[in-house]
A and B are shown apart, each in its own frame.
Chain A
Amino acid sequence: MLRMKSIHKRFPGVHALKGVDFDLNSGECVALLGENGAGKSTIIKVLGGAIQPEEGIIQIDGKERRFSEPLESLEAGIAIIYQEFNLVPSLSAAENIFLGIEPSDFGWVREAEQNRRAMETFQRIGAEIQPATSCEKLTVAQKQLVEISKALVRDAKILVMDEPSAALTEKEVNQLYRVVEDLKRKGIGIIYVSHRLEEVQRLADRAVVMRDGERVAELTRKTMSKGKIIELMVGRSMASEFPVHIRKVGKVRLRAKKLKCGQRVKGVSLEIRAGEILALTGLVGAGRTETARLLFGADSLEEGEVELDGRKLDLCNPRKAIRSGICLLSEDRKEQGLILGLSVQENFGLPNLDRFSRSGWVNHKGERESFHGFVDKLQIKISNSSQLASQLSGGNQQKIVLAKWLERNAEILIFDEPTRGIDVGAKFEIYQWINQLADQGKGILMISSELPEVLGMSDRILVMKDGKVVGDVQNGSGTTQEKLMEMAIGEKISIS
């Protein structure tokens, strides 16, 4: 029914999809698997018309289609349910379902019919929702069912679900499984993206595994063992991808005790030693980034305390944290690391203006000289220092961020996904810098979902799951990706 052929998509600095093939038959559920950054969400976005591939063809029922915007894809019968729902909170369930296709006479909505048809759809999938309830009063599971109903009302033939079970309770998940199986029987093709391997085994007829923007394997129901899947997801040679290094680990520099904040961080304690690279890994949503933000003062602590070199820190905002010598290279460079509309030099100077100014007046010359020093040292490719940060590739942007914190001479550096969206060459350079900083006796915390990176770089590895640290391993010969994945997923797996 659906066939995607050699889809290519490039973003600045990264080749996100390298000729991916994908097909789907009606009444079939295909799981799409892969690590974070493997290209799953990119391919979903291509399918949904949110982004356009440079090469490749999409066929639906044998006809070639091209989606330049989401609406066109919807009209072609593809419905996508993202993790963040696309519902208008203030409208009722029925109104949301029929948004844009209301049954109406000359602009007057036939409300009774709308509610009746919504009710019918709900019954079809066994949902117990009153059509007139406003969406903000629904639970997450109910909202998901409204999204599914929305797709059904629009006669969707292909339903894409991105991590549908992530925020559901056990009972709700079981209902979701029933709905999915029901939809399959009705001839709807389902693409199911998930990290939970057990539900993949239960629901999927086939599983497509992606890695680094490529489709690496397709498993059938019979060959679909957890061990096999994990092996395929992470399987990558680590040779020469990381600089070789021997480190000397010193005394404890940063000590965090029982950090707590909301549902995402539930009592995390950790120690970062001088000269050590501590890796923090786990699945998306495990609370890694949230922990880093707490250490940096970006979110306020509910409980817990942080000490640097035995001194207790007051981390009420990032400004204080920066002053005390902690810095964060956030995972989202474009939204949090850089101000894209400012020049590279201004971005570089922003946290360092106290050094480049005297009683409020900026010393442009000093700033420029220092900036050019880092441009040479880090080999940042810019045309001039007033170039806008938005015009750089991912790797160079990351180097600008790195430069601004190097100038700061911070004691603790937190790298959140330091190499996401960066090409291989720049990756290696950034690894070298991380190593060099560790050698200078700084404390390094590196958050990464890429297990090879974790194993290749770190001295010690913390694994997080559901806001807690579930594993603390010294990185040695016995540590494998499979072992880390087991801890992150939280189930025992036997490697076949």
Chain B
Amino acid sequence: MMKSLKALFSSDYGMLGALLFLCVFFSLVTYEQQQPVGDMGAKILVEKIREKFSEPGSVLIMGKKGTDGKAFVNGLKRRLNTDGWEVKQDLTGGPPELSKALRNTFENNSSVDLLACEQFFARLPMLENLENTSSLGKKMLVMSPASYGWPNFLKTSNLLNVANQIAVIAILAIGMTLVIITAGIDLSVGSLIAFSAVFASWTIREWTGGTEASVLGIILGCLISLMACGGLGLFSGLMIACYGVPPFVASLGMMMIASGLAYMLSGGLSIYQLPESFDWLGRGDDLAGIPNAVVLMILLYFFAHLLMSRTTAGRYVYAVGGNSEAARLSGVPVKRILLCVYAASGTLAGLGGIVMASQFRSGDPKYGLMYELYVIAAVVVGGTSLSGGKGKVFGTLIGAFIIAVIQNGMNLTGVQSYTQKVVLGMVLLGAVLLDMLKKRGWRFSS
């Protein structure tokens, strides 16, 4: 047992086990009876109706207000129509609308065989009476989709939510992974989010048309902002690689500079004069319902994985982190690698900032506060060693998801946000302790 646990945690993606464990745990904890909604509910209900009725009849369809209700009503109507049912009336709304519709039906003396509605309505006392006291002698059945057991955590919407919420941190964590593999650290990424969001919004507002900006204008604004962030990252890299400033200090300075610049540009206010199409990256979901930000994140991770495992540049990054002097003596361009890594970290932070600006359709200098710490936590939990030379990009993705799953799971189970911080802190310490144990061959003292 201990042996297999050790083996699991010793592998490159040792934290994958922990992530799976968390998912199973939160699935069990959040297991509940679920009300099918929307088109899904319609599908389930039609099956039920087909079992019950051999012949089609007339039906009244009732759904709740909102998109889900509408989808339910439309889905049901379409399916029942094809089966040959006569849809007397279909509507969405609350109990008053339903009772009005029923009264109309009775007053017109028209017969309705079935009331197909969402479960919410089926439980109303009004309908229970209705079933017993049918004025026409003919019974009107009330049917609603049956509930089923399913963990809240595992609902598609929730899982997509988890992915969407971690997207920004996960994108930043790619850059941070590279930096930490070179045995450095980049504290400026949180501030660069704010700077990038503000700078992109500001550029669009001032130069490329504000709310009227074209797609080209938006892209231009974002590109300028990305380049600026890359430039700031490059500047930190320059301090570190060429002047020997410790990474902690260099990026701490940059953290303050970037945050200050964001406040200067925005005047401390949020910039919201942006076109609606600016939402596309942050709120759109063009590919099979997966949010665009998540798609971007996944693409970036694949690219980063290829970069680190298949290219010379990736090999050099590991070499620099493993032993920069030995790498230099083997002909690795150490300074150039460090410059590139910090520039990449800056650019990715800028990209994270743009995703965030797009999610809120505004640029605010308060974005990204403390994000650098969550990003570092994701990298460390993902198994990258702070002493450099070791780490995997996908490990970081797992680390980011561990953090997101813990946060989401605790939200679902109603744990207070203060408590959540304590738990996240302990998870971070636990992950680092595991890493230490791994290095020392599972002995506790050095």
A residues in contact (CB < 8 Å) with B = 296, 298, 317-319, 322-323, 328, 330, 335-342, 346-347, 349-351, 353-354, 357, 360-362, 364, 404
Contact = CB atoms under 8 A, between A and B. Distances in A.
A350 B331 contact: yes
A353 B312 CA distance: 6
Nearest to A349: B315
A342 B310 contact: no
Contact of A335 (B311, B314, B319, B323): B323
Interface residues of B, number: 22
B310 to A, nearest CB: 6
B446 to A, nearest CB: 11
A342 B315 CA distance: 10
B426 interface: no
Contact of A318 (B322, B330, B390): B330
Given A339-B322, A342-B318, A350-B319, A360 B312 contact: yes
A336 B310 contact: no
A84 B311 CA distance: 41
A322 B331 contact: yes
B312 A346 contact: no
27 contacts: A296-B329, A298-B329, A318-B328, A319-B328, A319-B331, A319-B332, A322-B331, A323-B331, A336-B323, A336-B325, A337-B326, A338-B323, A339-B318, A339-B322, A339-B330, A341-B322, A341-B390, A346-B318, A349-B315, A350-B327, A350-B331, A350-B332, A353-B312, A354-B312, A361-B310, A362-B312, A362-B314
Contacts of A339: 318-319, 322-323, 326-327, 330, 389
Contacts of A351: 330-332
B21 to A, nearest CB: 28
B332 A361 contact: no
A340 B331 CA distance: 16
Interface string B210-221: 000000000000
Nearest to A328: B329
Contacts of A336: 323, 325-326, 329
Contacts of A349: 315
Contacts of B312: 353-354, 357, 360-362
Interface string B281-317: 0000000000000000000000000000011111110
Of B313, B314, B316, B319, the most chain A CB neighbours within 10 A belong to: B319
Of B310, B315, B326, B389, the most chain A CB neighbours within 10 A belong to: B326
Given A318-B331, A342-B389, A350-B332, A362 B326 contact: no
Interface string B26-56: 0000000000000000000000000000000
A384 to B, nearest CB: 16
Given A350-B315, A360-B313, A337 B390 contact: no
Given A353-B312, A360-B312, A361-B310, A298 B328 contact: yes
A339 B329 CA distance: 11
Contacts of A357: 311-312
Query: In terms of DSSP, what is the predominant structure of the interface of chain B?
Result: helix
Given A341-B322, A346-B318, A360-B312, 14 more contacts: A318-B328, A318-B331, A319-B331, A330-B329, A335-B325, A336-B326, A338-B326, A342-B318, A342-B389, A350-B332, A351-B332, A360-B311, A361-B312, A362-B310
A361 B330 contact: no
Contact of B330 (A335, A340, A404): A404
Nearest to A338: B326
Interface of B: 310-316, 318-319, 322-323, 325-333, 389-390
A431 B332 CA distance: 28
B333 to A, nearest CB: 6
Nearest to B318: A342
A159 B390 CA distance: 42
Contacts of A341: 322-323, 389-390
B326 A346 contact: no
Contacts of A347: 330
A327 B312 CA distance: 20
Contacts of B311: 357, 360-362
Contacts of B326: 335-339
A340 B329 contact: no
A298 B318 CA distance: 20
Nearest to B389: A341
B322 A317 contact: no
A319 B313 CA distance: 15
B41 to A, nearest CB: 50
Contacts of A342: 318-319, 322, 389
Given A337-B329, A341-B390, A353 B315 contact: yes
A256 to B, nearest CB: 19
4 closest A-B pairs by CB = A339-B322, A322-B331, A341-B389, A353-B312
A336 B318 CA distance: 15
A339 B330 CA distance: 10
A257 B328 CA distance: 25
B438 to A, nearest CB: 13
B328 A317 contact: yes
Contacts of A328: 329
B323 A318 contact: no
A337 B315 CA distance: 16
A318 B315 CA distance: 18
B337 to A, nearest CB: 11
Contacts of A353: 312, 315-316
A335 B323 CA distance: 7
Contacts of A404: 330
A349 B330 CA distance: 10
Contacts of B318: 339, 342, 346
Contacts of B319: 339, 342, 346, 350
